[in-house]
A and B are shown apart, each in its own frame.
Chain A
Amino acid sequence: EDKVVQSPLSLVVHEGDTVTLNCSYEVTNFRSLLWYKQEKKAPTFLFMLTSSGIEKKSGRLSSILDKKELFSILNITATQTGDSAVYLCAVVPGAQKLVFGQGTRLTINP
């Protein structure tokens, strides 16, 4: 069965810190891995990764995929209170449906 595991499940840091969120997976027919940010409602798209070793970057957020070791990380530098959210990792095992992890709840304290 396809499986995605995120760690840590919860993280509390101070504004300005750098955080690394982890996502490991076991899926058949891997197509891609996606990161979403979820505040109080719909998940909003951050990154889609398909190739190993190529970093995707958007402002203070970046992500990379390792298809050999079956994991991805999401980095956030110089965190701000607006980064507080649940970060979801999902993999696509062929039929374009998303298989999600539990999410990491990130809290940034001022």
Chain B
Amino acid sequence: DTGVSQNPRHKITKRGQNVTFRCDPISEHNRLYWYRQTLGQGPEFLTYFQNEAQLEKSRLLSDRFSAERPKGSFSTLEIQRTEQGDSAMYLCASITSGVRTDTQYFGPGTRLTVL
């Protein structure tokens, strides 16, 4: 257990529905990252926050995806009008900026299946 938690762990939804995932990072970590991992691939960067500010978004993050970190603690990732291609593991990771390490600590992930 890395100290990063994600909920739910599994989500099955029908195409066209909206889904929301939550990530609670390690409490003293001010940077939070979202990644997506499909079967047989490494994780791909989606977006990251420093405190409550969203500093970068990948072009993988279409208009149907939105992420927030309203108080600089937990974060949510919402996918609207889900498509079958959204089926993947969504991973959250956290780290403290300003220190000499790049080691991100990952949560257990939310596995999304879109039927």
In the complex, what's the smallest C-beta–C-beta distance from B41 to chain A, in angstroms? Answer: 6
A48 touches B41 (CB 8 A): no
Cβ < 8 Å to B, chain A residues 39-62: 41-45, 48
Of A14-22, A64-72, A92-100, the one contacting chain B is: A92-100
B42 touches A103 (CB 8 A): yes
Binding site secondary structure of chain A: strand
B2 touches A44 (CB 8 A): yes
Asked if B45 is an interface residue, CB under 8 A from chain A, the answer is: yes
Residues of A within 8 A of B107 (CB): 42
Q: Name the residue on A nearest B4 (C-beta).
A: A42
Q: Give chain B's interface residue range (CB within 8 Å of chain A).
A: 20 to 34
B56 touches A102 (CB 8 A): no
Bound CA–CA A63/B31 (angstroms): 27
A42 touches B91 (CB 8 A): yes
Asked if B109 is an interface residue, CB under 8 A from chain A, the answer is: yes
Residues of B within 8 A of A76 (CB): none
In the complex, what's the smallest C-beta–C-beta distance from A79 to chain B, in angstroms? Answer: 22
B44 touches A100 (CB 8 A): yes
Cβ < 8 Å to A, chain B residues 48-95: 48, 55-56, 91, 93, 95
Contact residues of A with B, CB < 8 Å?
4, 6, 31-32, 34, 36, 41-45, 48, 88, 90, 92, 95-103
Nearest 3 interchain pairs by C-beta: A100-B42, A42-B106, A92-B102
24 A-B pairs with C-beta separation under 8 A = A6-B42, A31-B102, A34-B103, A36-B106, A41-B109, A42-B2, A42-B106, A42-B108, A43-B43, A44-B106, A45-B104, A95-B48, A96-B95, A96-B97, A96-B104, A97-B45, A98-B35, A98-B45, A98-B102, A99-B45, A100-B44, A101-B42, A102-B41, A103-B41
